[in-house]
Amino acid sequence: MNSLTKTMQVVKPQTANWKPPKNLPQNWRTIRLSEIEQQPYGVYRSRNGLAVIISCCRYEDNKNWIHLSISRKDKLPSWSEFVQVKEIFLGKESTAIQVIPPRSQWVNDHPFCLHLWQCLDETSIPDFRIEGMI
């Protein structure tokens, strides 16, 4: 098990002052805003069939991470939908990562769901740009 996969296993209540978004574009509706064991989360749906779940937890690395799940009922979200959801829920200028662990460690209860992670405490990934572009 690599350190990132191991790190992402231990969930603790967040220490950041984070709440799920309430004000969204008109084509989105809030399904639920709630909290489980001191961990706030939000569930949303767009008019074009995208579903989003967003939460924030502190993991073994003691950093606060937002987890964003993006899905459709019958197909994977497109790249442009993935980016659009990231920008709506995490911001246009934020850094988010998609983790693809070894197949033996996949945890996905929905066949058409993608996940993004954003660290609230720091930009915790190297700058992979070559000559100013990714």
Residue 37: what pLDDT?
Answer: 72
Residue 58: what pLDDT?
Answer: 84
123 vs 61: which has the higher pLDDT: 61
Q: How confident is residue 5, by pLDDT bands cut at 50, 70 and 90?
A: very low
C-beta of residue 56 within 8 angstroms of C-beta of residue 119: no
Indicate if the pLDDT at residue 1 is higher than 60.
no
Give the residue extent of every domain in the chain: 3-119
Tens digits of residue pLDDT in 47-66? 999 999 999 888 888 888 89
Query: Going by C-beta distance under 8 Å and a sequence separation of 6 or more, which residues neighbour residue 49?
Result: 72, 73
- Coil, helix or strand for 62? coil
Tell me how many degrees the CA angle 55-42-66 measures, rounded to the nearest 5: 20
Q: How far apart are the first and last CA of the chain?
A: 28
What is this structure's pTM? 0.80
Q: CA–CA distance from 60 to each of 10, 63, 65, 101, 114 (Å)?
A: 5, 8, 11, 17, 22
38 vs 91: which has the higher pLDDT: 91
C-beta of residue 67 within 8 angstroms of C-beta of residue 55: yes
Indicate if the pLDDT at residue 96 is higher than 50.
yes
Residue 100: what pLDDT?
Answer: 87
